[in-house]
Amino acid sequence: MCLLGTQAPMFQAPAIIDGKVVADFSLAQFLGKQEVILFFYPKDFTFVCPTELLSFQKDLPRFLDKNVALVGCSTDTEETHLAWVNTPREQGGITGVTYPLVADTSKTIATNYGVLGGDWSYNESGQLIFTGLPIAYRGTFLIDKEGIIRYMAINDLPLGRSSKEILRIIDMWQHVSQFGEVCPANWQKGDKAINATPESVSDYLTHTPIV
């Protein structure tokens, strides 16, 4: 399911924010104010997940400097999120994580974003069954201020993300939004971009080494 260029599914759900339970966290609060990186992860108290969440926390000031809100989400309960946030890092916890962690216990958020690892169906006896994994893949979504999804990527469970690469994606989108130029391969903030004309592309390819 490709949501790129469409309105991001809005939701209200419990969340943990800076160690406190928020009963009705809403994604819509950022509309018109901030871009959002919404990222899904499989499970609390696992192996790759704490490395990702702590990496995002380390880079949180860089996200905020770009006026981008960071929101994590899994199918765990808010109580499990809270326990994880209060568990020391040397014991597999994520103490110090302050950005919102949404509790998608109904699995509707992951389903609406197309990142749930399985689906419901009925067996021959008419009983409801679930095939696959009832947890979220590592989905990452950049949502602009109007609520439109401008970037999406989904990693399989063992494949951890790079917060640095997501920051680069944000830089590209903000450059495109501000200047109307397009960003070539391996573009970094401060690099030359391309005007969307044949002449500009030709000049870029002629004078820029492609490595």
Percent of the chain as helix, strand, coil, to the nearest 5: 30, 30, 40
- Please state, in angstroms and rounded to a whole number, the distance separating the CA atoms of residues 151 and 96: 28
Q: Which of 2, 49, 73, 183 is catalytic?
A: 49
CA angle 157, 81, 18 (to 5 degrees): 120
Q: How confident is the model at residue 196 (pLDDT cuts 50, 70, 90)?
A: confident
Q: What are the sequence ranges of the domains in the chain? A: 12-161
- Range 163-182 average pLDDT: 96
Q: For 57, list phi and psi in degrees, rounded to 5.
A: -65, -40
What are the start-end ranges of the E strands in 75-126?
101-103, 116-122
Q: Give CA–CA dist 14/7, Å, rounded.
A: 22
Q: Which pLDDT score, from 0 to 100, does residue 200 have?
A: 67
73 belongs to the catalytic site = no
**Inter-CA distances, 112 with 25, 45, 109, 160, 176, Å:** 17, 24, 5, 22, 27
Which residues in 103-135 are b (16+ Cβ under 10 Å) and which e? bbbebebbbbbebbbeeeeeeeeeeeeeeeeeb
**42 within 8 A of 49, measured Cβ to Cβ:** yes
- Residue 207 is predicted with a pLDDT of 65
Q: What CATH number matches the domain at 12-161, 3.40.50.2000, 3.40.30.10, 3.40.50.12710, 3.40.50.300? A: 3.40.30.10
Average pLDDT of span 169-193: 95
Q: Is the pLDDT of residue 72 over 90?
A: yes
CA end-to-end span of the chain: 33
Confidence of residue 210 (pLDDT cuts 50, 70, 90): low
